[in-house]
Every structure is written in C-alpha cells, then in structure tokens.
Amino acid sequence: MFSRFENFFDSIHLHDSDPKFLLAVSGGVDSTVMAHLFHQKKLPFAIAHCNFQLRGDDSDGDALFVDELGKTFGVEVYSRKFDTVKYAKTEGISIQMAARDLRYKWFAELQSEHNYTYLATAHHQGDSVETFMINLVRGTGIAGFHGILPEKQNVIRPLLFANKNEIVSYAQKNSIEFREDATNSSTKYLRNKMRLDIIPSLEELNPNFKKAIANNIEAVNDIEQVLHNQLIQFINDVTGCTDNNVTININKLKKYQPIRFYLFEFLKSYGFNGSDVQSIIESLERVSGKIFLSESHQILKDRDTLIITKKLKTEIPNYTIEESTLSVKAPIDLKLSVVQNLEISKNPNIATLDFDKLTFPLTLRNWQEGDKFVPLGMKTKKKLSDFFIDNKLNINKKKEVWLLTSNNDIVWIVGMRIDNRYKVGQETKNVYRIELT
C-alpha cells in the first residue's frame, strides 16, 4: 500500500516544489488510512474535519476522534460545525449536495488563508466506479464517464489506486483505528444504493465488474482527451461573442457531425441537458424566435445564430424623472435640459420633444408586450414588437431597450425613435432636449 501511495506522487505533476497539504479527514477508514500514509511519507500536512451535525452524538464523536488523530501526528486540525439541514432547505438542495457545497467552500477558505497547496481527499477505486455508474444513470455525457480524476487543479486523490478491501485490510494489519459511519449502510442516498444494491447485483453477473469498469474509465480518459482537442477546434470555429452574449453560428454548426454530441458537450456548462439539446437541434430549420431555458441561461434561436444569454434573476425597476432633473446616471446616462431652440436633431441619441405636452414625472422603463406608440412621421399607432422586427432587433436586444414615457404614453424609444405626438413643431415654445451619452 505504501509503495503504491509513493508511486501516486511520482505519477502526478505537482506544480509546487515545496507543497503543503490539507487533508479532508472524516474519521472513517479511508481518510484515516490516508492520514497515516501522509505521516509515514513525512509530508507536511494539516487536517480539516467537517461536522455536519447529521448523526447526533456520533458526529461529535467523529470530531473528537479526528482531533486526537491530529495530536498523535503533531499536526494542525481545523474543525467546523455546519447546520447542514438548514442550508439544504435555504438553498433548496439535497442534504448530500448541501454537505458537499459547505465542505468544499470551507476547504477553499482554509487553503487560501493558510497557503495549503493541495487539498487531498480519500476517494478510492470504488468511489470512482460508483461515480461512473451514477453519471451513467443521470446521463452526463462522456465527461461523466471518467469517474473521479486523481488530480484536478489543486485537489488530489492519492488513494484512487486502491479498492475498499485493500484499505480496510491495510488498516487491520497496521492496527489503525477508525470510526464507523452507520449511514453508510443506509440505501436512502443514491451513492449508498449504488454501492450496496446495484453494484453487488452486477458483480453476480461479473465478479470482476469493478475492475472492468476501472479499466473502462482509463480508456474513456484517453478518448476524452482526444475529444477535448476536437471540442476546442469546434469552439474556435463555431462560437463567438457579441454584446456580452455567446453566439453559435448555425451554418457552421451543421458541418460538425454528430451535431448532438458537439452541441451537448458545449451547452452542458450552461445548464442544458440532452433533451434540451435535441429540441434546439429540431428548431434549427424553423423560424426565428424560439427560446430555450436552463436554470441559469437562455438560448434564442435567431435567424442564423443561437444566442446564449445569462438569465436575469430580478425584474428591472422603473425609474422616475422629475421636471427639475438635469441628468440621469442609472440605468442609462442621460442629460436633460429645456431650451427655446426649435432646431430638431437628427441624431438618434438626442430626442427633442415639446416640453409643454409632457406630464411629469416621466418614467424610464423596459418595453412590455402590447406597448404601442406613434412613430415619428406616422399618424397611427404601431406595436413596438412590430417596430423591433422592422429594425431587426432580436429578443435579447429588445431587453436592452429603454422607453421614456409621459402619462403612460411612450414619448421616446431611447436611441431610436420619438413619438410623433410629442415632436417639436412651429407652435412649440419650449423644447425638452434629452441626450443619451
């Protein structure tokens, strides 16, 4: 076990010649054995222990055990209690996800504060196989089939070479004490059900099932590297950025086959799943305007482009402009003045309105479905939605448009067109000049 542990450090590429390690230790057999191996190899390390307060006195017992383990090794032990149940309810996530979020956020804080180069977790070969199977069930795509990586950024998993039986056997042979977690025998959680029910059933069909999956994981890792290079080429060729939005050129996209693979691998980081991607592909030959939503982003199918935009979490408020207001800084920058000059500006960023026709306070707001105005030069009302189509504004651009209103009348589509009813004429005595700066 120890020689294989040493081989792990020979196989990875530590980017620091004098690293310091922070070990995530629960008190269970895996993390306790990992701590013993670090101590045996004389590596500089400290211990971090999370008390999620999910098992009553047993949770407190784990914390005391880990504290004593640190004293035995003469290393620093950081321990923190978390109200995991409350956090899960507040965030609307599962207990497992809450615990994961809490511990990794805290680990990152410790690493930053105390300059630990690497976080070491005690994931073993069985954990990697379970992760592979869980991702297979969830449908994460090929990136989910590499199991748990031995090294990713500043996190290392130095026990991935070993299976559970080997770790337990090592602990017994070396009289290493550890804590048993009773929840490990419960099938309430997906990972436990995979470990206790599903994988044992598959081992009845193939006693070497775990080893076979481990070999497949290695093969997938090689394939993934090849595909990663292909995806980089795809991203460089097909995607772009405009107005802070990510775009996908549909004509170029169609040249990449299978299109579903490329599109899914790119869009999954924006929260879109396989079903979403299939719907997007089916929309490519249809009319513009279709919108697809994930938890965090939206995709607009526009003419020859897919436009990816981050969803706004809150509604944008309305802004009031008093008669005495001379300038506005938010949400847009405006300069306001009343003049007697009857000259009409042709600059779309300058509106000249008949001051005496306005009713204050004015309101600055976003457009809404059903909005109408009388475009300059016309006598009848026109829907803003039609006006936007005429001016080739897609849905994302519409969201950026601001309207200046007076007594619910739209007097200016800012930066585009004023309302004909409020234009400056020969009878105008006072001109209200507004400049978008």
> Could you give the CA distance from residue 6 to residue 153 in angstroms, rounded to a whole number?
20
Non-local (6+) Cβ contacts of 58 within 8 A are 179, 181, 182
The reported pLDDT for the residue numbered 141 is 64
The reported pLDDT for the residue numbered 295 is 80
How far CA 240 is from CA of 71, 235, 262, 308, in Å, comes to 55, 8, 15, 10
The reported pLDDT for the residue numbered 33 is 97
Percent of the chain scoring above 70 in pLDDT: 94
Mean pLDDT, the chain, integer: 89
Q: How many residues does the chain have?
A: 437
> Could you give the CA distance from residue 359 to residue 186 in angstroms, rounded to a whole number?
69
User: Is residue 184 predicted with pLDDT exceeding 80?
Assistant: no
Which comes out higher in pLDDT, residue 228 or 108?
A: 108
Q: Which tokens is 233 given?
A: 């080429």
User: Is residue 376 predicted with pLDDT exceeding 80?
Assistant: yes
What's the 3-state SS for 179-215? CCCHHHHCCCCHHHHHHHHHHHHHHHHCCCHHHHHHH
The reported pLDDT for the residue numbered 188 is 64
The architecture of the domain spanning 2-213 is 3-Layer(aba) Sandwich (3.40)
> Are 56 and 21 a contacting pair, CB within 8 Å?
no
Q: Does residue 153 sit in helix, strand or coil?
A: coil
Output DSSP code: residue 413.
E
The reported pLDDT for the residue numbered 144 is 67
CA triple 261-262-264, angle to 5 deg: 65
pLDDT 10s digits, 54-72:
888 899 999 999 999 999 9
pLDDT 10s digits, 125-183:
888 888 888 888 777 666 667 778 888 888 999 999 999 999 999 999 999 999 987 66
The reported pLDDT for the residue numbered 217 is 81
User: Is residue 310 predicted with pLDDT exceeding 90?
Assistant: no
Q: How confident is the model at residue 436 (pLDDT cuts 50, 70, 90)?
A: very high
Residue with tokens 């299109």: 259
In sequence order, the β-bridge partners of residue 124 are 159
243-310 — its CATH code?
A: 3.30.465
> Are 132 and 37 a contacting pair, CB within 8 Å?
no
User: Is residue 313 predicted with pLDDT exceeding 60?
Assistant: no
> Are 55 and 183 a contacting pair, CB within 8 Å?
yes
User: Is residue 312 predicted with pLDDT exceeding 70?
Assistant: no
The reported pLDDT for the residue numbered 228 is 85
Which of 85-89, 214-218, 267-271 shows the lowest per-residue confidence on average (mean pLDDT)?
Answer: 214-218
Between the ranges 117-121, 292-296, 336-340, where is the mean pLDDT highest? 117-121
- Cβ burial 303-317 (10 Å sphere, 16+ → b, else e): eebbbbbeeeeeeee
Q: How many C-beta atoms surround the C-beta of residue 286 within 10 A?
A: 9
> Could you give the CA distance from residue 191 to residue 181 in angstroms, rounded to a whole number?
14
Percent of the chain scoring above 90 in pLDDT: 56
The reported pLDDT for the residue numbered 16 is 67
Output DSSP code: residue 420.
G
Which comes out higher in pLDDT, residue 15 or 326?
A: 326
User: Is residue 281 predicted with pLDDT exceeding 60?
Assistant: yes
Residue with tokens 């990510």: 246
- Cβ burial 370-387 (10 Å sphere, 16+ → b, else e): ebebbbeeeeeeeebeeb
The reported pLDDT for the residue numbered 149 is 83
The reported pLDDT for the residue numbered 379 is 92
Mean pLDDT of 230-257: 92
> Are 376 and 382 a contacting pair, CB within 8 Å?
no
The reported pLDDT for the residue numbered 128 is 86
> Are 335 and 434 a contacting pair, CB within 8 Å?
yes
Mean pLDDT of 324-353: 87
Nearest to 178 by CA among 5, 31, 39, 41: 31
Q: How many C-beta atoms surround the C-beta of residue 277 within 10 A?
A: 23
User: Is residue 314 predicted with pLDDT exceeding 60?
Assistant: no
CATH pick for 319-436 out of 3.40.50.300, 3.40.50.1480, 3.50.40.10, 3.30.70.20: 3.50.40.10
Residue with tokens 């989910």: 144
The reported pLDDT for the residue numbered 290 is 87
* Domain ranges, ordered by start, for the chain: 2-213, 243-310, 319-436
